[in-house]
Chains A and B, each alone.
Chain A
Amino acid sequence: MKSILLLSLPLALADGSQKPIGDAWALPRGLNPALSDKYRPSSSQTFNCLTQPQISLPISLLNDDFCDCPDGSDEPGTSACAHISSSVNPLPGFFCQNQGHVPAYIPFNRINDGICDYETCCDGSDEWMGVGGIKCPNRCEEIGKEARKAAEERRKLYESGIRSYKKLVEKAVFVKKEVEDKIVAVTGEIKRYEGLVEEKKAGLKKAEDEEKLKVDKLAATGDEGKSRHQKLLDYSKDKLSDHQEKLSKLFDEAQRLKEELDKTEKILKTFKEEYNPNFNDEGVKRAVNSWEDYLAAKATEDTLTGDYLAEVTGLMYESHRWEEYEPEDDDIAQDMYAIEAFLPPFLRTMVHEQLSSLRTSLVEYGLLAPRKPKQSAKSTGTVPPHIQKLTDDLTSTESNLSQKKSELTNLQNDLTKDYGPQSVFRSLKDVCTEAASGEYTYSFCHLGRATQKNREGGSTHLGDWTGFDRRYDDEIEQEVTVIKYEKGLRCWNGPERSAYVYLRCSAEEKILSVAETEKCVYKYVATSPAACGDIAAEGQEGIVTGEAKRQVN
């Protein structure tokens, strides 16, 4: 059971309420005139709380600087009900008439707090009590004038922005047509290359068949009386022992490199554990970060089967009982290939890849001096030159074909890609804008990349263009087009960098501000004619309604 009793005589009227003058009801302080009827006193000089009309209060409690209504509606002109949530209070705030400018609501907790909130209340009516001696003279005339001037400038800016926008859209149509034309051309070229490939494959096959015939003949004639088998056997012996020797060297090298790797990893492990993140040394942080990336990548790679070492060792020290192969047996050539197959192909590549990737990152962070490249051993091919030429020719034709194919795919993808409203960003491709902010210079290129450059000339990749978004720009209180740049350089202990460019309408491409709103997430605010689409769509009306809120610096 809940009841509210109001007893005894009320106190004298506070300054906050105004007595009815004759029949005319003076508007209570802070109330929007549109709501005045709700507060018109009854014949018994009472009014009702707005959302709980069953609660009826004497008119003297209206604006008496004490909160009586549970919904706070008895104090439109004071801060007495400021503790009541805006979801409960039906009044949006204290209504500033702002004659000479635009009327506005100011939150109740700003009333009589000793500050002239001219941004909202240019008439100074929020400080009517004059607490602590504060005086807020009406400044609506000058503020209104300035605002109208600014609005006019904005209108002009929008108009020129829209003109540029329309030109961009026209250009975009043209650019798109170019792409479509290109598709036709590339499709034709692909057909041509397909024919060439077929032709060259046939030529090569023919040449190879002829060559095989020659080799067989040579094998059959023998050499210095030795049998064909014997020769092959000798050859195999030499070759195998040569392979074993080389494998052994390779194995030693692999072991040495593995030890080197272990040692380096240990250094880095200790480095990571013992460095003090408190120092916040960017270089160290980056090094640790790339070390972690390296580890993560390493952990996800297929772990090698544990017995490859055994296999290699086996191959190295295996003794072959050649006498078993002495009898005439034509299969020996096959065996040779079989022996080749014994070499685990992953060994070489595995060790080298790992080491080279580690080395790259070590060099990158200045922990290791770069190594001079060794002269790579020349491959000792035995393919006859004319066949080699034909093969090379085919390969190059095939590669041309696949190039054209991927070009086509790209062009086709391009047509379906989102280039923003009316594909307007097509016309801005590779247009770049940059601006200095703090110790960095920030830039972004339309449909390209966003970058942060430092004074020393170093540059950080903030992300590549991935598309568009619509987001709320809380400064101009409007939803705007946002260009997304993602998958930039990964941050230490953080995500990959990304940048989001919030666009506002203007004829000029210009960065207004850049801030790192979240760790490694950059917010650009920029102007571009490409952002004038919304206003253009709304026409002249859009320019006018946009005026009150939109601001372009």
Chain B
Amino acid sequence: MRVSALSPSNSAGGLTILLLLLDFITPAATVKHENFKTCSQSGFCRRNRAFADHALTPESNWVSPYEIKENTVLLQNGILSAEILKTVPGQTEKVVLPLNINFQKNGAVRVTIDELKRTKGDIVLRGESKARKERYNEAERWALIPDWDVRDDKVVYDNQKGQITLTFGPELKYKAIVTVYPFNIKFERDGETHVVLNDRGLMNVEHWRAQPAEPEEGKEKSPEDLDGGWDETFGGNTDTKPRGPEAVSMDISFPGYDHVFGIPSHATSLSLKTTRGGEGAYEEPYRLYNADVFEYIVDSPMTLYGSIPFMQAHRKGSSVGVLWLNAAETWVDVVKEKKTKTDTKTHWVSESGQLDVWVFLGPTPQTLYKAYGELTGFTKMPPSFAIAYHQCRWNYVSEDDVKDVDRKFDKHDIPYDVIWLDIEYTDGKRYFTFDPLTFKEPEKMMKNIDKAERKVVLIIDPHIKNTENYPVVEELKSKDLAVKDKSGDIYEGWCWPGSSHWIDAFNPAAIEWWKSLFKFDRFKGTAKNTYIWNDMNEPSVFNGPETTMPKDNLHFGNWEHRDLHNLNGMTFMNATHQALEARDVGKGKTQRSFVLTRAFFAGAQRLGAMWTGDNEAKWEHLQASLPMLLSQGIAGFPFSGADVGGFFGNPSKELLTRWYQSGIWYPFFRAHAHIDAKRREPYLTGEPYTSIIRDAIRLRYALLPAWYTAFHRASKDGMPIIRPNFVAHPDDEEGFAIDDQAYIGDTGLLVKPVVGEGVDKVDIHLADDEIYYDYWTHKIYQGKGKKEYSAPLEKIPLLMRGGHIIPRRDRPRRSSGLMKHDPFTLVLVLNKRGHAMGWLYHDDGESFDYKQGAYIHRQFMYNGSRKTLSSRDLHKDRAAAETYKKAASALQIEKIVIVGASNSLDTSALAEGRSKAKAILVEDDNGKVKEWHASLGYTAAVDKDHGDVLVIKNAKLKIGNDWTIYLEQVGAEDKPKDEL
């Protein structure tokens, strides 16, 4: 007898328990979305998107309320100045916005719009705020090089019917057409419009206004009372906004352009997706607000650790770009309108600061990158070890641990240059100290690592532990060099050490102090082979809004954190960079710095390297890394890498191996792992993986001369170090969106890393009809389009494009430093017509002597018809060149490999023995002809689908000298006696 009187509530209770249980078991391992704002949670983004929606609704009959006051227009010294008047509905008084259009000699144009009332300080701040009243106007101090302003004094002015036309630029090919009302600017080149500002009338400068009183019951809110314009709370933190709403926004159109690139860093495709509808569109705008995004997701416009607001628009025959020079939180919407041609239209919104846009009119990727670099600076020439392999882990826990890892790399004959120490080396997260138990004798450790010319990188973060008996924090406080909170007291937040203060590296005195901390007699235990890693510099504040600082914090000069947030990381990196370059490494000499940063902004390329932050040991993160790094190259900061192996989690052996095979193509090549991840140094992986990884790392080392040469070019003209298809082949329309393969500098090396599990073949896109040879087998791939390439685990899909010369060093040493006496190999990859060209840059790799001309810069050219290989000096200063040549006189070329020799020589005769060849040096320095001939080795092609190879052996040519070699074919009867 069982009575059943089931009450519904009870049954639901039981079910709930079950559901909860299921819920618990699912591992939660993705980004904490709720920690970061969406556009609709960010007041100014929400408003300006709504503003755009309203303006773009046909029924609104929208007319942009901005007009140039014509009698204020003045062109002087390459700057057109005027006042823009903003009409505010319901107000007779117009808002005055000073406009400056600055024309640069290289054709770049800067459009700056400020707010008169703010420049005069004629506003009242809310609360008791001590913040500055001006719109932030110091971004250029950090982002641009000091002598950026090279004015174009030949601008031609014309004003007709409310249109001001300015003709400028090289050969007066560019035009800026300014429409007085409604205000907009069209930029033309060669009679075509390429960039339009305020094309759709979405420009919005939120002028200062006093906060309207709460409307009485039943009355409407004042139109000046903007949505989200005042106190704003997110995640328990309230932003007091002393200046109320102050966003600036502008729409920028690229008529006829189907692709836009840049605005890193986002884990997304290289060619930017649309964000306001359309196929595959993101829901959110691209966000630029440097943040410590834990376990970030891929394929997302979500913000990451660094921001470069530079965008390139590209189409066949033209590349143009814009730099949105604003360091406040910024959102960018992208739409594409398909008519006969596609127009890409973008909408930029920043929370505060001046409206400051730079326009670059190209016309090629090269000229665009050069103009951008002339403004923000070019990539710093790194010390040579920095482009070799870095071994990192959170953490190598003791000196013994470091010694053991070092020893095992040698034992397994895997080269590495740098071992890294994460936060655990410190004494209780006090930077500038070593743990007295685990790192008792750091000096000895540095010395031990230095034996094989290796380096140690130590982490130093911007949060300074707030604790007793710690001189660093005492000085930070007593010298008043820390970031302040909104009331002007020292700001306290939480990070690794617990309660901490933050150095305000915007303060010049803080930089000077920071420099003093790195002196060898101050930071005891460091040596000249110690370099620095700056992490958490977004800044990451564990208990702050969006894991960063409150926006109403105050920096040097009483600028609000809001105004300069995206610059913060870079200023800290700058202080460290300066500190390292100020260290006296003996005899009063200094050496090049190496600083790795997580947060960055435009211009950080002048200071060191970046990495893409805390990725995961997952295939999709491996896949995402190459597009992200290609994007860094577009935005002028190519010295970039992603954690090899993935930071979080444990990669499978296959994933780790494939990641190394990809990682050797990252300009910054470092393996790193989370403290909870298993050890995964390459020697632990076991065979065949360890050998495959060793081969991959050795390939990186063999190609270091080519990498260094690519870095040199980036440091001179801003060409990316690894280049996407559209940069290498700007007219290959099919290849514009390709971001899973890359060209390495000017070497013609084309790599397509395997980034999928179990994948054993890839399709490589060939952009032209040139011959491409497999790097390993010399198999020929030819013809535009996709080519299938077989890639079992041990093989890296790597092609050599005909027409290039690749410099290498083939002796696998323990570190790059130990390769410095080794001879070079030149690989000549002949093109269809038998020609090839390549470059080599070389210097001592550590000092600044190269600035005085102590370097070698050569151009190698093989003329297939004349069968001559010549080395030409590209050095600017012959006298200085001679001095260094002497120093480097022991450096030789030992081997010259000619791939596809049959494109130049009658190799069938060679193969059949009807003919022999010899290499004759016809001239070297000073035109003197020397008696010299080298032996040759010929390897015929295995079949018609492969290239043949001729090797000039033991050439012993001096790397720094001018010389020409002639390849002479002689008949069989001339056979020399010692022939084998």
Asked if A pairs with B, the answer is yes
Binds A, one of B102-110, B809-817, B846-854: B809-817
Say yes or no: A310-B933 contact (C-beta < 8 A), given A109-B813, A113-B821, A131-B890: no
Say yes or no: A7-B918 contact (C-beta < 8 A), given A107-B413, A278-B294, A515-B401: yes
* Bound-complex Cα distance A431 to B435 (A): 32
Cβ of A3 within 8 Å of any chain B Cβ, yes or no, is yes
B814 and A113 form a contact (CB under 8 A): yes
Nearest-neighbour CB distance to chain A for B892, whole angstroms, equals: 10
B23 and A269 form a contact (CB under 8 A): yes
- Contact pattern, A 114-150, Cβ under 8 Å of B = 1, otherwise 0: 1100000000000000011000000000000000000
Cβ of B935 within 8 Å of any chain A Cβ, yes or no, is yes
Binds B, one of A27-35, A75-83, A481-489, A503-511: A75-83
Cβ of B212 within 8 Å of any chain A Cβ, yes or no, is no
Q: Give the size range of A's interface with the partner.
A: 35 or more
Cβ of B469 within 8 Å of any chain A Cβ, yes or no, is no
Cβ of A548 within 8 Å of any chain B Cβ, yes or no, is no
B431-459 residues with Cβ-Cβ distance < 8 A to A are 435, 437-438, 451-452
B679 and A517 form a contact (CB under 8 A): yes
A310 and B940 form a contact (CB under 8 A): no
Cβ of B266 within 8 Å of any chain A Cβ, yes or no, is no
Cβ of A8 within 8 Å of any chain B Cβ, yes or no, is yes
B261-285 residues with Cβ-Cβ distance < 8 A to A are none
A438 and B5 form a contact (CB under 8 A): no
B821 and A265 form a contact (CB under 8 A): no
B70-119 residues with Cβ-Cβ distance < 8 A to A are none
Contact residues in B for A438 (Cβ distance below 8 Å) = 397-398, 435, 437-438
A309 and B14 form a contact (CB under 8 A): yes
Contact residues in A for B2 (Cβ distance below 8 Å) = 311, 314
Contact pick for A10, options B7, B496, B675, B978, CB 8 Å: B978
B890 and A66 form a contact (CB under 8 A): no
Contact residues in B for A68 (Cβ distance below 8 Å) = 953
Cβ of A250 within 8 Å of any chain B Cβ, yes or no, is no
* Bound-complex Cα distance A278 to B814 (A): 34
Closest partner residue, chain B, to A2 (CB atom):
B939
Nearest-neighbour CB distance to chain B for A360, whole angstroms, equals: 19
Nearest-neighbour CB distance to chain B for A438, whole angstroms, equals: 5
Contact pick for A298, options B21, B292, B814, B910, CB 8 Å: B21
Nearest-neighbour CB distance to chain B for A105, whole angstroms, equals: 13
B980 and A57 form a contact (CB under 8 A): yes
Contact residues in B for A11 (Cβ distance below 8 Å) = 934-935, 954, 956
Closest partner residue, chain A, to B540 (CB atom):
A278
B5 and A314 form a contact (CB under 8 A): yes
A272 and B28 form a contact (CB under 8 A): yes
Cβ of A318 within 8 Å of any chain B Cβ, yes or no, is yes
Closest partner residue, chain B, to A304 (CB atom):
B14
Contact residues in B for A310 (Cβ distance below 8 Å) = 4-7, 10
* Bound-complex Cα distance A68 to B979 (A): 15
Contact residues in B for A396 (Cβ distance below 8 Å) = none
Say yes or no: A9-B933 contact (C-beta < 8 A), given A2-B940, A56-B980, A317-B5: yes
A295-347 residues with Cβ-Cβ distance < 8 A to B are 295-296, 298-299, 303, 306-307, 309-311, 313-315, 317-318
Cβ of A494 within 8 Å of any chain B Cβ, yes or no, is yes
B437 and A115 form a contact (CB under 8 A): no
Cβ of A377 within 8 Å of any chain B Cβ, yes or no, is no
Nearest-neighbour CB distance to chain A for B653, whole angstroms, equals: 15
Nearest-neighbour CB distance to chain B for A146, whole angstroms, equals: 19
B468-485 residues with Cβ-Cβ distance < 8 A to A are none
A307 and B954 form a contact (CB under 8 A): no
Contact pick for B404, options A131, A295, A515, CB 8 Å: A515
Cβ of B542 within 8 Å of any chain A Cβ, yes or no, is yes
A519 and B678 form a contact (CB under 8 A): yes
- Contact pattern, B 294-322, Cβ under 8 Å of A = 1, otherwise 0: 10000000000000000000000000000
Nearest-neighbour CB distance to chain B for A471, whole angstroms, equals: 15
Say yes or no: A5-B812 contact (C-beta < 8 A), given A306-B14, A314-B2: no
Contact pick for A519, options B679, B812, B894, B910, CB 8 Å: B679
Say yes or no: A1-B894 contact (C-beta < 8 A), given A317-B5, A492-B676: no
Closest partner residue, chain A, to B968 (CB atom):
A8
Cβ of A276 within 8 Å of any chain B Cβ, yes or no, is yes
B413 and A518 form a contact (CB under 8 A): no
* Bound-complex Cα distance A513 to B438 (A): 12
* Bound-complex Cα distance A65 to B910 (A): 26
Say yes or no: A109-B678 contact (C-beta < 8 A), given A4-B939, A7-B935, A269-B24: no
Contact pick for A109, options B812, B820, B938, CB 8 Å: B812
A7 and B917 form a contact (CB under 8 A): yes
Nearest-neighbour CB distance to chain B for A322, whole angstroms, equals: 15
* Bound-complex Cα distance A466 to B831 (A): 66
Say yes or no: A7-B397 contact (C-beta < 8 A), given A82-B811, A131-B821, A276-B542: no
Nearest-neighbour CB distance to chain A for B17, whole angstroms, equals: 7
Cβ of A353 within 8 Å of any chain B Cβ, yes or no, is no
* Bound-complex Cα distance A131 to B891 (A): 11
Q: Choose among B24, B32, B814 the residue with the greatest number of A CB atoms under 10 Å from its CB.
A: B24
Contact pick for B24, options A1, A80, A295, CB 8 Å: A295
Contact pick for A303, options B6, B18, B397, B979, CB 8 Å: B18
Cβ of A493 within 8 Å of any chain B Cβ, yes or no, is yes
Nearest-neighbour CB distance to chain B for A314, whole angstroms, equals: 3
A66 and B954 form a contact (CB under 8 A): yes
Closest partner residue, chain B, to A474 (CB atom):
B411
* Bound-complex Cα distance A519 to B676 (A): 7
Cβ of B677 within 8 Å of any chain A Cβ, yes or no, is yes
B811 and A79 form a contact (CB under 8 A): yes
B935 and A10 form a contact (CB under 8 A): yes
* Bound-complex Cα distance A151 to B17 (A): 69
* Bound-complex Cα distance A265 to B18 (A): 13
Contact residues in A for B811 (Cβ distance below 8 Å) = 79-80, 82-83, 109
Say yes or no: A269-B398 contact (C-beta < 8 A), given A65-B894, A113-B813, A518-B679: no
Contact residues in B for A277 (Cβ distance below 8 Å) = 294, 676
* Bound-complex Cα distance A460 to B60 (A): 70
Contact pick for B821, options A64, A114, A493, CB 8 Å: A114
Cβ of B858 within 8 Å of any chain A Cβ, yes or no, is no
Cβ of B213 within 8 Å of any chain A Cβ, yes or no, is no
Closest partner residue, chain A, to B408 (CB atom):
A474
Cβ of A258 within 8 Å of any chain B Cβ, yes or no, is yes
A58 and B32 form a contact (CB under 8 A): no
A8 and B935 form a contact (CB under 8 A): yes
B20 and A269 form a contact (CB under 8 A): yes
* Bound-complex Cα distance A314 to B939 (A): 93
A82 and B812 form a contact (CB under 8 A): yes
A113 and B818 form a contact (CB under 8 A): yes
B676 and A9 form a contact (CB under 8 A): no
* Bound-complex Cα distance A5 to B895 (A): 15
Q: Which residues of A contact B (CB under 8 A)?
A: 1-11, 56-58, 64-66, 68, 79-80, 82-83, 107, 109-110, 112-115, 131-132, 258, 262, 265-266, 269, 272-274, 276-280, 295-296, 298-299, 303, 306-307, 309-311, 313-315, 317-318, 438-439, 474, 492-494, 513, 515-519
Chosen A-B contacts, 26 in total, with CB atoms closer than 8 Å, are: A2-B939, A3-B939, A4-B938, A5-B910, A5-B916, A5-B980, A9-B933, A11-B935, A65-B954, A83-B702, A107-B413, A114-B820, A258-B13, A262-B16, A277-B294, A277-B676, A278-B542, A279-B496, A295-B21, A299-B21, A299-B24, A309-B11, A317-B5, A438-B437, A439-B438, A518-B679
Q: Which residues of B contact A (CB under 8 A)?
A: 2-7, 10-11, 13-14, 16-18, 20-21, 23-25, 28, 32, 292, 294, 397-398, 400-401, 404, 411, 413, 435, 437-438, 451-452, 496, 542, 675-679, 698, 702, 810-814, 818-822, 890, 894-895, 910-911, 916-919, 933-940, 942, 953-954, 956, 976, 978-980
Q: A5-B910, A109-B812 are in contact. List 18 more A-B contacts (CB 8 A).
A: A5-B937, A7-B979, A10-B935, A10-B978, A11-B934, A57-B980, A83-B811, A113-B813, A262-B20, A269-B23, A269-B24, A279-B496, A295-B25, A310-B6, A313-B7, A314-B5, A317-B5, A494-B676
User: Which 3 A-B pairs rank lowest in CB-CB distance, beginning with the nearest?
Assistant: A314-B3, A66-B954, A131-B821
